[in-house]
Amino acid sequence: MKKIAIACDHAGFDYKEIIKKHLEGKYEVQDFGTFSKDSVDYPDFVHPAASSVERGENEFGILICGSGEGVAITANKHQEIRCALCWMPELAELARQHNNANMIALPARFIAAELAVDIVEKFLNTDFEGGRHQNRVSKIATC
Q: Active-site residue among 65, 78, 83, 86?
A: 65
> What are the E-state strand segments in 9-143?
28-31, 60-65, 83-85, 103-107
Q: Active-site residue among 10, 47, 98, 133?
A: 98
Under 8 Å between Cβ of 111 and 91: no
Active site residue 143: no
What's the number of CA atoms in the CB half-sphere (13 Å) around residue 10? Answer: 5
Q: Indicate the Cα dihedral angle 141, 93, 104, 131, nearest 10°.
A: -20
Active site residue 47: no
Catalytic residue ranges = 65, 98
